[in-house]
A and B are shown apart, each in its own frame.
Chain A
């Protein structure tokens, strides 16, 4: 239990953030709890994984996929429209400007496979290899999907910002 408690204190925010953006709703505390319960019950399996975070995100992702299937015909209690006012950290809340709202909306609008790759590779800080482990994909598929997702995001951001997306010089 001590190890799980340590993981919980260290990674519960990552797990919650991943679930929130994956499921596009903020009421995910019960799934966070379930993630850690399953992690505790299956600690033997963890030994095969590179890091606790990868292991936890794998469990969380599987739960989220199940939840998506199960809730397909149910109306979510909280939808993406109330995201910014939910429980961001104070630092985040302070800088949550219009541009961030647009980025958030565009990210949430991505199809699930693209969204989860982007989440894992960016906010979760997972490597290509770790992302492939979590999703059960090949590294090539992760790379290609991630690249396409960023391209899609860029196109959408250009459109949503009226073509005003900040152009920067290529290195």
Chain B
């Protein structure tokens, strides 16, 4: 079927419409998630450093030896089911690997109330979720959409991402135990530290040449899970301390 000149012109116009790229940070995260979803860590551009490869294998072996009780991990084999299930249908962006015991996707024992709400700023987020304190995060490059999900009662989940790869998930009145990459935050293998007087749990997942670090702590009635693309303990703690400081101010 021959196309007319008009039709060719329309095709050209469509060809000039914007194309959509995945940011460099998200690319790395997604590649890691893809690799992990099929059960092995990504080698990365220059191959997997032996020490990290050993760490991953060691971690997996440890789980097997200890016969971990975490249902997600034991049901599906080590490192094979660590893609986060906690993502409402309309939420996008980098997946977290956070799940909850008893229900992979629901942090609370309550029903979802309404659609996922998205916001373009922290102020807007506070307007949508008034119990989430009005905070500012100086120096942080917030990457919209921010958002959250309301559940019945006072249960709420709020998520904030930055362009530098920091993601914060905050849960109001969390009732279920959080499971990160198949490991419960109550597991003795998870390191414990403190942030301004409150206990915080650190979990570092190494994969290929990169990794993801999580830190979880409670502030007031909120449970906060912050993760960075870096496996540096110092960077993780600095981010958590900065966030906690602002969060506390907002609560007062």
Indicate whether A123 sits within 8 Å of B22 (C-beta atoms), given known contacts A5-B42, A157-B10. no
Q: Which residues of A contact B3 (CB under 8 A)?
A: 147, 150
CB of B32, distance to nearest CB on chain A (Å): 10
Q: Does any Cβ of B come within 8 Å of A50's Cβ?
A: no
Kindly provide the distance from the CB of B127 to the nearest chain A CB, expressed in whole angstroms.
Answer: 16
A-B contact pairs, 7 of them (CB 8 A): A1-B34, A9-B27, A17-B20, A32-B30, A33-B30, A33-B95, A76-B90
Give the segment of B11-19, B59-67, B177-185, B238-246 that binds chain A.
Answer: B11-19
Binding site for B on A (CB under 8 A): 1-2, 4-5, 8-9, 12-13, 16-17, 20-21, 26-30, 32-33, 36-37, 40-41, 67, 70-71, 74-78, 83-84, 86-89, 92-93, 95-96, 99-100, 103-104, 107, 118, 121-123, 143-144, 147, 150-151, 153-154, 157, 165-166, 168-171
Are A70 and B4 in touch, CB under 8 angstroms? no
4 closest A-B pairs by beta carbon, nearest first, are A27-B92, A88-B18, A92-B18, A77-B90
Interface residues on B, range: 35 or more
Determine if B233 is an interface residue (Cβ-Cβ < 8 Å).
no
**CA of A70 to CA of B20, assembled, Å:** 23
Whether B17 lies near A103 (C-beta < 8 A) is: yes
Q: A12-B27, A75-B90, A154-B6 are in contact. Are A123 and B17 (CB under 8 A)?
A: yes
Whether B21 sits at the interface, judged by CB under 8 Å, is yes
Contact B14 A103 (CB under 8 A): yes
| In contact, B5 and A170 (Cβ under 8 angstroms) | yes
- What residues of chain B lie closer than 8 Å to A74, measured between beta carbons? 89-90, 115
B225-251: CB near A (< 8 Å → 1, else 0) gives 000000000000000000000000000
Whether A13 and B90, one on each chain, are in contact in the complex, defined by CB atoms closer than 8 angstroms, is no
B118 at the interface (CB under 8 A from A): yes
- CA of A102 to CA of B40, assembled, Å: 46
Asked if A8 and B43 sit within 8 Å, CB to CB, the answer is no
Complex: how many Å from CA A16 to CA B20?
6
Instruction: Check if B58 is an interface residue, CB within 8 A of chain A.
Output: no
Q: Is the CB of B19 within 8 A of A92?
A: yes
Please determine whether A4 and B23 come into contact, CB atoms closer than 8 angstroms.
no
CA distance A103 to B14 in the complex (A): 7
Q: Are the CB atoms of A88 and B14 closer together than 8 Å?
A: no
Cross-chain contact A95 with B43 (CB below 8 angstroms): no
Taking the complex as formed, is B26 at the interface, i.e. its CB lies under 8 A from any CB of chain A? yes
- In addition to A26-B20, A96-B18, 12 A-B residue pairs with Cβ atoms within 8 Å of each other are A1-B35, A8-B30, A8-B31, A29-B94, A40-B37, A41-B38, A71-B90, A77-B118, A89-B19, A100-B13, A121-B11, A153-B10
Chain B proximity of A164: nearest CB distance (Å) = 13
Q: Is B147 an interface residue (CB 8 A)?
A: yes
